[in-house]
Chains A and B, each alone.
Chain A
Amino acid sequence: MNRTVDIIKKQRKATEAAKEKLKEFNRMKKAITNALREGPATIPQIAGKINEPTDKVLYYLMTMYKFGMVEVDSIDDMDEYYLYRLKKQENKQ
Protein backbone atom coordinates (compact mmCIF):
# COMPACT_ATOMS: atom_id res chain seq x y z
CA MET A 1 0.00 0.00 0.00
CA ASN A 2 1.31 3.44 -0.88
CA ARG A 3 1.14 5.55 2.23
CA THR A 4 1.49 9.31 2.28
CA VAL A 5 3.13 9.02 5.70
CA ASP A 6 6.16 7.43 4.01
CA ILE A 7 6.50 10.53 1.85
CA ILE A 8 6.37 13.00 4.75
CA LYS A 9 8.84 10.86 6.71
CA LYS A 10 11.46 11.71 4.11
CA GLN A 11 10.94 15.40 4.83
CA ARG A 12 10.45 15.58 8.59
CA LYS A 13 10.98 13.59 11.73
CA ALA A 14 8.68 13.13 14.71
CA THR A 15 9.31 15.85 17.29
CA GLU A 16 10.75 15.12 20.72
CA ALA A 17 7.46 16.38 22.20
CA ALA A 18 5.52 13.76 20.23
CA LYS A 19 7.83 10.98 21.37
CA GLU A 20 7.56 12.13 24.99
CA LYS A 21 3.74 12.20 24.89
CA LEU A 22 3.65 8.74 23.33
CA LYS A 23 5.96 7.32 25.99
CA GLU A 24 4.09 8.90 28.87
CA PHE A 25 0.68 7.67 27.71
CA ASN A 26 1.99 4.15 27.16
CA ARG A 27 3.56 4.10 30.59
CA MET A 28 0.47 5.45 32.39
CA LYS A 29 -1.92 3.26 30.41
CA LYS A 30 0.07 0.16 31.31
CA ALA A 31 0.31 1.10 34.98
CA ILE A 32 -3.40 1.94 35.29
CA THR A 33 -4.43 -1.20 33.39
CA ASN A 34 -2.27 -3.37 35.66
CA ALA A 35 -3.69 -1.71 38.76
CA LEU A 36 -7.26 -2.26 37.57
CA ARG A 37 -6.58 -5.93 36.77
CA GLU A 38 -6.70 -6.43 40.55
CA GLY A 39 -10.28 -5.16 40.58
CA PRO A 40 -12.25 -1.91 40.52
CA ALA A 41 -10.59 1.04 42.26
CA THR A 42 -10.98 4.76 42.91
CA ILE A 43 -8.51 7.30 41.55
CA PRO A 44 -6.71 7.73 44.92
CA GLN A 45 -6.48 3.92 45.23
CA ILE A 46 -4.99 3.57 41.74
CA ALA A 47 -2.59 6.42 42.47
CA GLY A 48 -1.48 4.67 45.67
CA LYS A 49 -0.87 1.40 43.84
CA ILE A 50 1.18 2.87 41.03
CA ASN A 51 2.80 5.65 43.04
CA GLU A 52 1.72 8.53 40.80
CA PRO A 53 -0.02 11.81 41.71
CA THR A 54 -3.84 11.59 41.79
CA ASP A 55 -4.34 14.44 39.30
CA LYS A 56 -2.17 12.69 36.75
CA VAL A 57 -4.05 9.41 37.26
CA LEU A 58 -7.34 11.26 36.77
CA TYR A 59 -6.11 12.82 33.51
CA TYR A 60 -4.99 9.53 31.97
CA LEU A 61 -7.79 7.42 33.44
CA MET A 62 -10.41 9.83 32.09
CA THR A 63 -8.67 9.81 28.71
CA MET A 64 -8.84 6.01 28.75
CA TYR A 65 -12.51 6.32 29.74
CA LYS A 66 -13.13 8.55 26.72
CA PHE A 67 -11.52 6.04 24.39
CA GLY A 68 -13.53 3.16 25.86
CA MET A 69 -10.78 1.34 27.74
CA VAL A 70 -12.27 1.74 31.23
CA GLU A 71 -15.77 2.17 32.61
CA VAL A 72 -17.47 3.17 35.83
CA ASP A 73 -18.03 0.33 38.26
CA SER A 74 -19.82 2.02 41.19
CA ILE A 75 -19.44 4.83 43.71
CA ASP A 76 -18.04 4.44 47.22
CA ASP A 77 -20.20 4.39 50.37
CA MET A 78 -19.66 8.11 50.99
CA ASP A 79 -20.79 9.02 47.45
CA GLU A 80 -17.43 10.73 47.01
CA TYR A 81 -15.24 8.66 44.72
CA TYR A 82 -16.20 6.51 41.77
CA LEU A 83 -14.67 3.09 41.30
CA TYR A 84 -13.50 2.30 37.79
CA ARG A 85 -12.87 -1.03 36.10
CA LEU A 86 -11.42 -2.26 32.85
CA LYS A 87 -13.83 -2.72 29.99
CA LYS A 88 -14.55 -6.38 29.18
CA GLN A 89 -12.23 -6.81 26.17
CA GLU A 90 -9.35 -5.32 28.19
CA ASN A 91 -10.10 -7.77 31.02
CA LYS A 92 -9.55 -10.77 28.78
CA GLN A 93 -6.16 -9.65 27.50
Chain B
Amino acid sequence: MLEPKKHYDVLVIGGGIAGQETALNLANLGYKIALVEKDYSIGGKMILLSKVFPTLDCAACITTPKVSETARHPNIDVFTYSQVEDIFKQERGFRFTLRQKPRYVTEDCTGCQLCEQVCPVVVEDEYQYGLIGRKAIFIPHSIANPRIAAIDIEHCTLCGLCENVCPPKSIDFTQQERVDEIYATAVVLATGYKLFDPTIIKRYGYGKYKNVVTAMQMERQLVPTRPFNNILRPSDGKVPDNIAYVLCTGSRDVTLGNPICSQVCCMYSTKQAQLLMGALPMADVTLYYINIRAFGKGFCEFYQQARSMGVGYVKGKVGRIFEKEDGNLILRYEDIETGEVAEAEHDLVVLSIGILPNKDYQNLFKNVRVEHDPYNYVRQVDELTSPARTSVDGVFVAGTASGPMDIPDTILSAGAASSETASYLRKVYKEIQPSLS
Protein backbone atom coordinates (compact mmCIF):
# COMPACT_ATOMS: atom_id res chain seq x y z
CA MET B 1 0.00 0.00 0.00
CA LEU B 2 1.13 3.47 -0.81
CA GLU B 3 2.21 5.73 2.04
CA PRO B 4 0.34 8.97 1.38
CA LYS B 5 1.78 12.45 1.82
CA LYS B 6 0.36 14.65 4.59
CA HIS B 7 -0.76 17.32 2.18
CA TYR B 8 -1.77 17.43 -1.47
CA ASP B 9 -2.72 20.39 -3.62
CA VAL B 10 -5.69 18.53 -5.05
CA LEU B 11 -7.73 15.49 -4.07
CA VAL B 12 -9.33 14.00 -7.20
CA ILE B 13 -12.06 11.50 -6.38
CA GLY B 14 -12.67 8.96 -9.17
CA GLY B 15 -10.18 7.48 -11.62
CA GLY B 16 -12.31 7.35 -14.78
CA ILE B 17 -11.38 9.31 -17.86
CA ALA B 18 -12.55 12.56 -16.19
CA GLY B 19 -10.48 12.05 -13.05
CA GLN B 20 -7.36 11.01 -14.97
CA GLU B 21 -7.55 13.93 -17.37
CA THR B 22 -8.04 16.43 -14.52
CA ALA B 23 -5.23 14.89 -12.48
CA LEU B 24 -2.82 14.88 -15.43
CA ASN B 25 -3.51 18.50 -16.40
CA LEU B 26 -2.94 19.67 -12.83
CA ALA B 27 0.08 17.42 -12.27
CA ASN B 28 1.69 18.81 -15.42
CA LEU B 29 1.42 22.26 -13.85
CA GLY B 30 3.44 20.98 -10.91
CA TYR B 31 0.63 20.42 -8.43
CA LYS B 32 0.66 17.33 -6.21
CA ILE B 33 -2.41 15.16 -6.68
CA ALA B 34 -4.03 12.36 -4.71
CA LEU B 35 -6.20 10.36 -7.10
CA VAL B 36 -8.54 8.09 -5.18
CA GLU B 37 -10.34 5.26 -6.99
CA LYS B 38 -12.71 2.87 -5.27
CA ASP B 39 -12.23 0.09 -7.82
CA TYR B 40 -9.18 -2.22 -8.06
CA SER B 41 -7.86 -0.32 -11.09
CA ILE B 42 -8.27 3.04 -12.79
CA GLY B 43 -9.95 3.64 -16.14
CA GLY B 44 -13.63 3.84 -15.21
CA LYS B 45 -16.19 2.66 -17.73
CA MET B 46 -14.21 3.78 -20.75
CA ILE B 47 -11.50 1.15 -20.36
CA LEU B 48 -14.18 -1.53 -20.68
CA LEU B 49 -15.63 -0.20 -23.96
CA SER B 50 -15.01 -1.71 -27.40
CA LYS B 51 -14.66 1.20 -29.79
CA VAL B 52 -15.86 4.77 -29.47
CA PHE B 53 -18.35 6.69 -31.58
CA PRO B 54 -18.20 8.42 -33.96
CA THR B 55 -14.59 7.69 -34.97
CA LEU B 56 -14.64 3.95 -34.15
CA ASP B 57 -11.22 4.26 -32.56
CA CYS B 58 -10.40 1.39 -30.23
CA ALA B 59 -11.27 2.52 -26.69
CA ALA B 60 -8.42 0.59 -25.08
CA CYS B 61 -5.89 2.11 -27.50
CA ILE B 62 -6.92 5.63 -26.52
CA THR B 63 -7.33 5.07 -22.85
CA THR B 64 -4.41 2.81 -21.88
CA PRO B 65 -1.67 5.40 -22.66
CA LYS B 66 -3.56 7.89 -20.49
CA VAL B 67 -3.97 5.34 -17.73
CA SER B 68 -0.25 4.54 -17.71
CA GLU B 69 0.69 8.22 -17.83
CA THR B 70 -1.53 8.82 -14.78
CA ALA B 71 -0.10 5.83 -12.93
CA ARG B 72 3.51 6.82 -13.65
CA HIS B 73 3.28 10.59 -13.16
CA PRO B 74 5.64 11.73 -10.39
CA ASN B 75 3.11 14.30 -9.15
CA ILE B 76 0.19 11.88 -8.91
CA ASP B 77 -0.30 9.35 -6.11
CA VAL B 78 -2.91 6.86 -7.24
CA PHE B 79 -4.81 5.05 -4.49
CA THR B 80 -6.86 2.15 -5.87
CA TYR B 81 -9.34 0.04 -3.91
CA SER B 82 -9.54 3.04 -1.60
CA GLN B 83 -12.13 5.44 -0.38
CA VAL B 84 -12.38 8.99 0.85
CA GLU B 85 -14.47 9.65 3.94
CA ASP B 86 -15.35 12.51 6.25
CA ILE B 87 -14.21 15.53 4.29
CA PHE B 88 -14.16 18.65 6.48
CA LYS B 89 -13.84 22.08 4.94
CA GLN B 90 -11.37 24.16 6.88
CA GLU B 91 -10.43 27.77 6.78
CA ARG B 92 -8.09 26.93 3.92
CA GLY B 93 -8.50 23.62 2.19
CA PHE B 94 -9.95 20.32 3.30
CA ARG B 95 -9.15 17.57 5.78
CA PHE B 96 -10.22 14.03 4.89
CA THR B 97 -9.81 10.38 5.75
CA LEU B 98 -8.28 8.03 3.20
CA ARG B 99 -9.06 4.36 3.66
CA GLN B 100 -6.95 1.91 1.64
CA LYS B 101 -8.52 -1.54 1.72
CA PRO B 102 -6.53 -4.79 1.66
CA ARG B 103 -6.42 -6.69 -1.63
CA TYR B 104 -4.25 -9.38 0.04
CA VAL B 105 -1.71 -9.11 -2.78
CA THR B 106 1.30 -6.81 -2.58
CA GLU B 107 2.81 -4.54 -5.23
CA ASP B 108 5.36 -7.31 -5.98
CA CYS B 109 2.70 -9.07 -8.07
CA THR B 110 3.88 -9.40 -11.67
CA GLY B 111 0.45 -10.18 -13.06
CA CYS B 112 1.54 -13.67 -14.19
CA GLN B 113 -1.92 -15.14 -13.41
CA LEU B 114 -0.53 -18.45 -12.11
CA CYS B 115 -2.71 -17.97 -9.04
CA GLU B 116 -5.81 -17.76 -11.23
CA GLN B 117 -4.93 -21.11 -12.76
CA VAL B 118 -4.82 -22.91 -9.41
CA CYS B 119 -7.60 -21.11 -7.55
CA PRO B 120 -10.54 -23.55 -7.33
CA VAL B 121 -13.37 -21.03 -6.85
CA VAL B 122 -15.38 -19.48 -9.69
CA VAL B 123 -17.45 -16.34 -9.11
CA GLU B 124 -19.32 -14.11 -11.59
CA ASP B 125 -16.86 -11.79 -13.30
CA GLU B 126 -18.06 -8.24 -12.65
CA TYR B 127 -15.81 -6.85 -15.39
CA GLN B 128 -17.59 -9.08 -17.92
CA TYR B 129 -20.91 -8.07 -16.36
CA GLY B 130 -21.61 -11.62 -15.20
CA LEU B 131 -21.36 -13.27 -18.63
CA ILE B 132 -18.61 -15.62 -17.43
CA GLY B 133 -16.79 -16.44 -14.23
CA ARG B 134 -13.51 -15.34 -12.68
CA LYS B 135 -11.53 -16.88 -9.84
CA ALA B 136 -11.56 -15.79 -6.18
CA ILE B 137 -8.10 -14.36 -6.86
CA PHE B 138 -8.09 -12.37 -10.06
CA ILE B 139 -6.55 -9.66 -12.17
CA PRO B 140 -9.57 -7.36 -12.73
CA HIS B 141 -9.34 -7.41 -16.52
CA SER B 142 -6.76 -7.81 -19.27
CA ILE B 143 -5.68 -4.16 -19.40
CA ALA B 144 -6.13 -3.34 -15.71
CA ASN B 145 -3.76 -0.77 -14.21
CA PRO B 146 -2.28 -1.55 -11.78
CA ARG B 147 -1.97 -5.10 -13.07
CA ILE B 148 -2.03 -6.57 -9.60
CA ALA B 149 -4.20 -9.45 -8.53
CA ALA B 150 -6.73 -9.10 -5.74
CA ILE B 151 -8.41 -11.67 -3.51
CA ASP B 152 -12.17 -11.56 -3.16
CA ILE B 153 -12.02 -12.64 0.47
CA GLU B 154 -15.78 -13.26 0.69
CA HIS B 155 -15.39 -16.01 -1.92
CA CYS B 156 -12.00 -17.33 -0.88
CA THR B 157 -11.89 -20.80 0.72
CA LEU B 158 -8.51 -19.98 2.31
CA CYS B 159 -7.03 -23.07 0.66
CA GLY B 160 -3.68 -21.34 0.18
CA LEU B 161 -3.07 -22.77 -3.31
CA CYS B 162 -2.43 -19.29 -4.71
CA GLU B 163 0.15 -18.60 -2.04
CA ASN B 164 1.89 -21.90 -2.82
CA VAL B 165 2.41 -21.05 -6.49
CA CYS B 166 2.98 -17.28 -6.51
CA PRO B 167 6.56 -16.82 -7.81
CA PRO B 168 7.33 -13.42 -6.18
CA LYS B 169 5.53 -14.41 -2.94
CA SER B 170 3.16 -11.48 -3.22
CA ILE B 171 0.13 -13.05 -1.55
CA ASP B 172 -0.28 -11.58 1.92
CA PHE B 173 -3.33 -12.59 3.91
CA THR B 174 -2.12 -10.50 6.85
CA GLN B 175 -2.59 -7.26 4.92
CA GLN B 176 -4.68 -4.79 6.92
CA GLU B 177 -6.55 -1.72 5.81
CA ARG B 178 -4.66 1.51 6.16
CA VAL B 179 -6.34 4.71 7.35
CA ASP B 180 -4.71 8.13 7.08
CA GLU B 181 -5.80 11.67 7.76
CA ILE B 182 -4.76 13.93 4.91
CA TYR B 183 -5.15 17.52 3.75
CA ALA B 184 -5.81 18.94 0.29
CA THR B 185 -6.23 22.52 -0.83
CA ALA B 186 -8.92 21.71 -3.40
CA VAL B 187 -11.18 18.79 -4.30
CA VAL B 188 -12.35 17.58 -7.71
CA LEU B 189 -15.37 15.30 -7.89
CA ALA B 190 -14.96 12.93 -10.83
CA THR B 191 -17.12 10.12 -9.51
CA GLY B 192 -18.82 9.42 -12.84
CA TYR B 193 -22.18 7.77 -13.38
CA LYS B 194 -24.11 4.64 -12.53
CA LEU B 195 -25.75 2.36 -15.06
CA PHE B 196 -29.51 1.93 -15.03
CA ASP B 197 -30.53 -1.45 -13.57
CA PRO B 198 -32.95 -2.93 -16.12
CA THR B 199 -34.37 -5.54 -13.74
CA ILE B 200 -36.59 -2.67 -12.58
CA ILE B 201 -38.51 -2.83 -15.88
CA LYS B 202 -40.09 -6.25 -15.36
CA ARG B 203 -41.82 -6.08 -18.79
CA TYR B 204 -38.46 -6.48 -20.51
CA GLY B 205 -37.57 -9.65 -18.64
CA TYR B 206 -33.91 -8.80 -18.04
CA GLY B 207 -32.42 -11.35 -15.65
CA LYS B 208 -35.20 -13.81 -16.45
CA TYR B 209 -34.81 -14.09 -20.22
CA LYS B 210 -31.17 -14.95 -20.80
CA ASN B 211 -31.11 -13.48 -24.29
CA VAL B 212 -32.01 -10.02 -23.07
CA VAL B 213 -28.66 -8.36 -22.34
CA THR B 214 -27.49 -4.84 -21.56
CA ALA B 215 -25.47 -2.65 -23.89
CA MET B 216 -22.57 -2.86 -21.43
CA GLN B 217 -22.63 -6.67 -21.77
CA MET B 218 -22.62 -6.19 -25.54
CA GLU B 219 -19.65 -3.77 -25.26
CA ARG B 220 -17.73 -6.57 -23.54
CA GLN B 221 -18.73 -9.04 -26.27
CA LEU B 222 -17.39 -6.61 -28.88
CA VAL B 223 -13.96 -6.24 -27.25
CA PRO B 224 -11.19 -8.53 -28.62
CA THR B 225 -10.76 -10.02 -25.10
CA ARG B 226 -14.45 -10.90 -25.14
CA PRO B 227 -15.95 -13.31 -22.60
CA PHE B 228 -16.89 -15.92 -25.23
CA ASN B 229 -15.05 -17.26 -28.26
CA ASN B 230 -17.26 -15.13 -30.50
CA ILE B 231 -20.38 -13.02 -30.08
CA LEU B 232 -22.88 -15.53 -28.72
CA ARG B 233 -26.25 -15.36 -27.11
CA PRO B 234 -26.10 -16.23 -23.42
CA SER B 235 -28.97 -18.72 -23.30
CA ASP B 236 -27.30 -21.42 -25.37
CA GLY B 237 -24.24 -20.15 -27.23
CA LYS B 238 -25.94 -19.65 -30.59
CA VAL B 239 -24.36 -17.08 -32.92
CA PRO B 240 -27.14 -14.47 -33.10
CA ASP B 241 -28.37 -13.38 -36.51
CA ASN B 242 -31.27 -11.07 -35.74
CA ILE B 243 -30.47 -8.60 -33.01
CA ALA B 244 -32.72 -5.87 -31.61
CA TYR B 245 -31.82 -2.78 -29.59
CA VAL B 246 -34.31 -1.14 -27.25
CA LEU B 247 -33.24 2.48 -26.95
CA CYS B 248 -34.01 4.79 -24.03
CA THR B 249 -34.17 1.87 -21.55
CA GLY B 250 -34.36 3.70 -18.23
CA SER B 251 -34.06 7.18 -19.76
CA ARG B 252 -36.65 9.85 -20.56
CA ASP B 253 -39.16 8.06 -18.35
CA VAL B 254 -40.79 9.97 -15.51
CA THR B 255 -42.27 6.79 -14.06
CA LEU B 256 -38.74 5.49 -13.48
CA GLY B 257 -37.63 8.74 -11.87
CA ASN B 258 -35.27 9.56 -14.73
CA PRO B 259 -36.93 12.04 -17.08
CA ILE B 260 -33.77 13.09 -18.91
CA CYS B 261 -31.95 11.85 -22.00
CA SER B 262 -28.76 9.86 -21.31
CA GLN B 263 -27.00 11.55 -24.25
CA VAL B 264 -24.99 8.50 -25.31
CA CYS B 265 -27.38 5.57 -25.88
CA CYS B 266 -28.49 6.50 -29.43
CA MET B 267 -24.90 6.81 -30.51
CA TYR B 268 -23.44 3.83 -28.68
CA SER B 269 -26.27 1.66 -30.04
CA THR B 270 -25.55 2.97 -33.54
CA LYS B 271 -21.87 2.18 -32.94
CA GLN B 272 -22.57 -1.34 -31.67
CA ALA B 273 -24.90 -2.00 -34.61
CA GLN B 274 -22.09 -1.11 -37.03
CA LEU B 275 -19.58 -3.24 -35.14
CA LEU B 276 -22.02 -6.17 -35.07
CA MET B 277 -22.54 -5.96 -38.80
CA GLY B 278 -18.78 -6.13 -39.22
CA ALA B 279 -18.36 -9.04 -36.79
CA LEU B 280 -21.43 -11.02 -37.92
CA PRO B 281 -21.89 -10.21 -41.62
CA MET B 282 -25.06 -12.32 -41.89
CA ALA B 283 -26.81 -10.65 -38.97
CA ASP B 284 -29.73 -8.21 -39.12
CA VAL B 285 -29.63 -5.44 -36.56
CA THR B 286 -32.71 -3.33 -35.74
CA LEU B 287 -32.88 -0.35 -33.41
CA TYR B 288 -36.23 0.51 -31.81
CA TYR B 289 -36.13 4.19 -30.94
CA ILE B 290 -38.31 7.10 -29.87
CA ASN B 291 -36.15 9.84 -31.41
CA ILE B 292 -32.56 9.58 -32.61
CA ARG B 293 -30.41 12.19 -30.95
CA ALA B 294 -27.33 12.71 -33.08
CA PHE B 295 -26.30 16.19 -32.05
CA GLY B 296 -22.50 16.02 -31.69
CA LYS B 297 -19.72 16.56 -34.19
CA GLY B 298 -19.87 13.84 -36.83
CA PHE B 299 -22.80 12.11 -35.12
CA CYS B 300 -25.39 12.67 -37.84
CA GLU B 301 -23.00 11.32 -40.48
CA PHE B 302 -22.28 8.35 -38.21
CA TYR B 303 -25.99 7.63 -38.00
CA GLN B 304 -26.38 7.96 -41.79
CA GLN B 305 -23.46 5.57 -42.21
CA ALA B 306 -25.23 2.96 -40.06
CA ARG B 307 -28.39 3.32 -42.14
CA SER B 308 -26.49 2.91 -45.36
CA MET B 309 -24.81 -0.21 -43.96
CA GLY B 310 -28.29 -1.68 -43.56
CA VAL B 311 -28.95 -1.17 -39.84
CA GLY B 312 -32.74 -1.07 -39.40
CA TYR B 313 -34.26 1.87 -37.52
CA VAL B 314 -37.85 1.41 -36.35
CA LYS B 315 -39.57 4.36 -34.70
CA GLY B 316 -41.30 2.28 -32.08
CA LYS B 317 -41.78 2.20 -28.34
CA VAL B 318 -41.24 -1.30 -26.97
CA GLY B 319 -43.90 -2.14 -24.41
CA ARG B 320 -43.12 -5.72 -23.55
CA ILE B 321 -40.82 -8.60 -24.38
CA PHE B 322 -41.89 -12.26 -24.42
CA GLU B 323 -39.65 -15.30 -24.52
CA LYS B 324 -40.32 -18.24 -26.82
CA GLU B 325 -39.35 -21.79 -25.99
CA ASP B 326 -36.31 -21.70 -28.29
CA GLY B 327 -34.97 -18.64 -26.48
CA ASN B 328 -36.03 -16.20 -29.21
CA LEU B 329 -37.79 -13.06 -28.10
CA ILE B 330 -40.96 -11.36 -29.29
CA LEU B 331 -40.92 -7.59 -29.01
CA ARG B 332 -44.32 -5.98 -28.76
CA TYR B 333 -44.06 -2.32 -29.68
CA GLU B 334 -46.12 0.65 -30.63
CA ASP B 335 -45.23 1.82 -34.11
CA ILE B 336 -44.99 5.55 -33.47
CA GLU B 337 -45.52 6.40 -37.14
CA THR B 338 -48.81 4.49 -37.53
CA GLY B 339 -49.91 4.32 -33.88
CA GLU B 340 -50.44 0.58 -34.25
CA VAL B 341 -49.18 -2.20 -32.01
CA ALA B 342 -46.85 -4.58 -33.81
CA GLU B 343 -44.69 -7.59 -32.95
CA ALA B 344 -41.29 -8.72 -34.17
CA GLU B 345 -39.11 -11.74 -33.38
CA HIS B 346 -35.38 -11.50 -32.61
CA ASP B 347 -32.85 -13.98 -31.28
CA LEU B 348 -31.01 -11.47 -29.06
CA VAL B 349 -32.21 -8.23 -27.50
CA VAL B 350 -29.86 -5.53 -26.25
CA LEU B 351 -31.23 -2.97 -23.80
CA SER B 352 -29.63 0.42 -24.39
CA ILE B 353 -29.50 1.24 -20.71
CA GLY B 354 -29.24 4.82 -19.55
CA ILE B 355 -26.91 6.76 -17.34
CA LEU B 356 -27.86 7.63 -13.75
CA PRO B 357 -26.25 9.94 -11.20
CA ASN B 358 -23.70 8.51 -8.78
CA LYS B 359 -24.80 10.09 -5.51
CA ASP B 360 -21.67 9.14 -3.54
CA TYR B 361 -20.61 12.79 -3.32
CA GLN B 362 -23.67 13.61 -1.24
CA ASN B 363 -22.28 11.75 1.78
CA LEU B 364 -18.62 12.66 1.54
CA PHE B 365 -18.65 16.09 3.13
CA LYS B 366 -19.31 16.57 6.82
CA ASN B 367 -19.59 20.31 7.46
CA VAL B 368 -20.60 21.65 4.04
CA ARG B 369 -23.13 20.51 1.46
CA VAL B 370 -22.34 20.01 -2.20
CA GLU B 371 -25.69 20.81 -3.78
CA HIS B 372 -27.30 18.64 -6.42
CA ASP B 373 -29.29 19.61 -9.49
CA PRO B 374 -32.92 18.47 -10.02
CA TYR B 375 -31.68 15.10 -11.30
CA ASN B 376 -29.21 14.44 -8.45
CA TYR B 377 -26.04 15.24 -10.39
CA VAL B 378 -23.56 17.69 -8.85
CA ARG B 379 -25.02 21.18 -9.33
CA GLN B 380 -22.96 23.47 -11.51
CA VAL B 381 -23.60 26.83 -9.87
CA ASP B 382 -22.33 28.82 -12.83
CA GLU B 383 -22.76 26.48 -15.78
CA LEU B 384 -22.23 29.06 -18.48
CA THR B 385 -19.07 30.86 -17.36
CA SER B 386 -17.51 28.53 -14.80
CA PRO B 387 -18.84 25.02 -15.50
CA ALA B 388 -16.69 23.18 -12.95
CA ARG B 389 -17.70 25.28 -9.92
CA THR B 390 -19.94 23.68 -7.31
CA SER B 391 -21.81 25.18 -4.37
CA VAL B 392 -18.71 24.74 -2.16
CA ASP B 393 -15.75 27.03 -2.66
CA GLY B 394 -12.71 24.89 -3.55
CA VAL B 395 -14.76 21.89 -4.75
CA PHE B 396 -14.97 21.35 -8.52
CA VAL B 397 -16.70 18.79 -10.72
CA ALA B 398 -15.47 16.96 -13.82
CA GLY B 399 -17.16 14.63 -16.30
CA THR B 400 -20.37 12.70 -15.86
CA ALA B 401 -20.55 13.51 -12.14
CA SER B 402 -22.30 16.68 -13.36
CA GLY B 403 -24.62 15.02 -15.91
CA PRO B 404 -24.73 12.49 -18.73
CA MET B 405 -22.15 13.14 -21.44
CA ASP B 406 -19.95 11.31 -23.92
CA ILE B 407 -16.16 10.97 -23.81
CA PRO B 408 -15.28 14.08 -25.87
CA ASP B 409 -17.48 16.22 -23.59
CA THR B 410 -16.02 14.51 -20.52
CA ILE B 411 -12.52 15.48 -21.65
CA LEU B 412 -13.67 19.08 -22.21
CA SER B 413 -15.31 19.12 -18.80
CA ALA B 414 -12.12 17.80 -17.20
CA GLY B 415 -10.18 20.53 -19.01
CA ALA B 416 -12.47 23.13 -17.47
CA ALA B 417 -12.18 21.52 -14.04
CA SER B 418 -8.39 21.52 -14.16
CA SER B 419 -8.07 25.13 -15.28
CA GLU B 420 -10.62 26.36 -12.74
CA THR B 421 -8.91 24.37 -10.00
CA ALA B 422 -5.50 25.73 -11.02
CA SER B 423 -6.65 29.33 -10.85
CA TYR B 424 -8.27 28.64 -7.49
CA LEU B 425 -5.00 27.20 -6.17
CA ARG B 426 -3.04 30.23 -7.41
CA LYS B 427 -5.48 32.53 -5.66
CA VAL B 428 -5.33 30.61 -2.39
CA TYR B 429 -1.53 30.30 -2.38
CA LYS B 430 -1.19 34.00 -3.21
CA GLU B 431 -3.27 34.84 -0.15
CA ILE B 432 -0.97 32.72 2.01
CA GLN B 433 2.35 33.80 0.53
CA PRO B 434 1.91 36.70 -1.90
CA SER B 435 5.60 36.72 -2.87
CA LEU B 436 5.56 33.11 -4.08
CA SER B 437 3.03 33.33 -6.86
A4-B174, A82-B230 known; A14+B238 contact, CB < 8 A: no
Residue A4 contacts which of B132, B134, B171, B232 (CB distance < 8 angstroms)?
B171
Task: Sample 20 A-B pairs with CB under 8 A, ordered by A number.
Answer: A1-B164, A4-B171, A4-B173, A5-B158, A14-B157, A15-B155, A17-B154, A21-B121, A21-B122, A21-B136, A21-B155, A22-B120, A25-B122, A43-B237, A55-B210, A58-B228, A65-B229, A66-B132, A81-B238, A82-B229
- CB <8 Å contact, A63 and B132: yes
Most buried by A among B122, B158, B230: B122
Q: Which B164-183 residues have C-beta < 8 A from chain A?
A: 164, 171-174
**By the criterion CB–CB under 8 Å, are B228 and A62 in contact?**
yes
Q: Which residues of B pack against A, CB within 8 Å? A: 116-117, 120-123, 131-136, 154-160, 163-164, 171-174, 210, 227-230, 232, 234-239, 282
**Which of A26, A44, A66, A80 is most buried by chain B, counting CB atoms within 10 A of its CB?**
A66
Tell me, yes or no, whether A92 is within 8 Å of chain B by CB: no
Q: Does A38 contact B (CB under 8 A)?
A: no
Establish whether residues B163 and A7, one from each chain, have CB atoms under 8 Å apart when the complex forms. Answer: no
List chain A residues, Cβ under 8 A from B173: 4-5, 7-8
Pair B239/A25 contact, Cβ less than 8 Å: no
B181 → chain A, closest Cβ, in Å?
27
Which residues of B sit under 8 angstroms from A5, Cβ to Cβ? 158-160, 163, 171, 173
A26 to B133, CA, bound (A): 13
Give bound CA distance, A68 to B135, whole Å: 13
**Majority secondary structure of chain B interface residues (helix, strand, loop or mixed):** loop
Contact B239 A22 (CB under 8 A): no
B237→A26 contact, CB < 8 A: no
- Which of B117, B156, B159, B239 touches A81 (beta carbons < 8 Å)? B239
Q: What 6 A-B pairs have minimum CB-CB distances, sorted nearest first? A: A43-B237, A5-B160, A54-B236, A8-B173, A63-B133, A25-B122
Report the Cα distance A3→B164, complex, angstroms. 8
**A19 on the interface (CB 8 Å rule)?**
yes
Q: A42 contacts which chain B residues (CB < 8 A)?
A: 237
Verify B154–A58 contact, CB threshold 8 A: no
| Residues in A45-65 with C-beta less than 8 Å from chain B | 47, 54-55, 57-63, 65
Q: Are B229 and A25 in contact (CB under 8 A)?
A: no
Q: Which of A1-30 contact B (CB under 8 A)?
A: 1, 3-9, 12-15, 17-19, 21-22, 24-26
B157's nearest neighbour on chain A, judged by CB, is A14
**Cβ contacts under 8 Å, A6 to chain B:** 160
Q: Are A58 and B232 also in contact (CB < 8 A) when A25-B122, A80-B239 are?
A: yes
Contact A4 B154 (CB under 8 A): no
Whether the Cβ atoms of A14 and B122 lie closer than 8 Å is: no
Nearest CB in chain B: distance from A56 CB, A = 10
Residues on A close to B: CB < 8 A? Answer: 1, 3-9, 12-15, 17-19, 21-22, 24-26, 42-44, 47, 54-55, 57-63, 65-68, 72, 75, 79-82
Residues of B within 8 Å of A12, CB to CB, are: 158
Interface centre among B159, B230, B232, B236 (most CB of A within 10 A): B236
Tell me, rounded to whole Å, the shortest Cβ–Cβ distance linking B137 to chain A. 11
Of A7, A22, A25, A81, the residue contacting B237 (CB under 8 A) is: A81
Partner of B227, one of A8, A54, A66: A66
Contact partner of A62 (CB less than 8 A), chosen from B131, B158, B160, B282, is B131
Partner of B117, one of A58, A67, A82: A67
B132 partner residues in chain A, CB cutoff 8 A? 59, 62-63, 66
Docked CA distance A70–B304 (Å): 42
**Bound complex: CA A15 to CA B136 (Å):** 12
Instruction: Please determine whether A8 and B238 come into contact, CB atoms closer than 8 angstroms.
Output: no
Give the complex CA separation of A43 and B230 in angstroms.
14
CB distance from B196 to the nearest CB of A (A): 23
Assess whether B154 is in contact with A72, with CB atoms less than 8 Å apart. Answer: no
Chain B residues, Cβ within 8 Å of A21 = 121-123, 136, 155
Closest to A44 in B: B236
Q: Is the CB of B174 within 8 A of A82?
A: no
Assess the B157–A22 pair: CB atoms within 8 A: yes
Least CB separation from A84: chain B residue = B229
Nearest CB in chain A: distance from B109 CB, A:
14
Chain B residue numbers with a CB within 8 Å of A47 are 236
Known: A54-B236, A54-B237. 18 other contacts (CB 8 A): A5-B159, A8-B158, A14-B157, A15-B154, A17-B154, A18-B155, A19-B157, A25-B122, A44-B237, A58-B228, A58-B232, A63-B134, A65-B228, A66-B132, A67-B117, A81-B236, A82-B229, A82-B230
Q: How far is the CB of A5 from chain B (nearest CB, A)?
A: 4
Please give me the residue from chain A that is nearest to B133 by CB atom.
A63
Partner of A18, one of B156, B174, B230, B232: B156
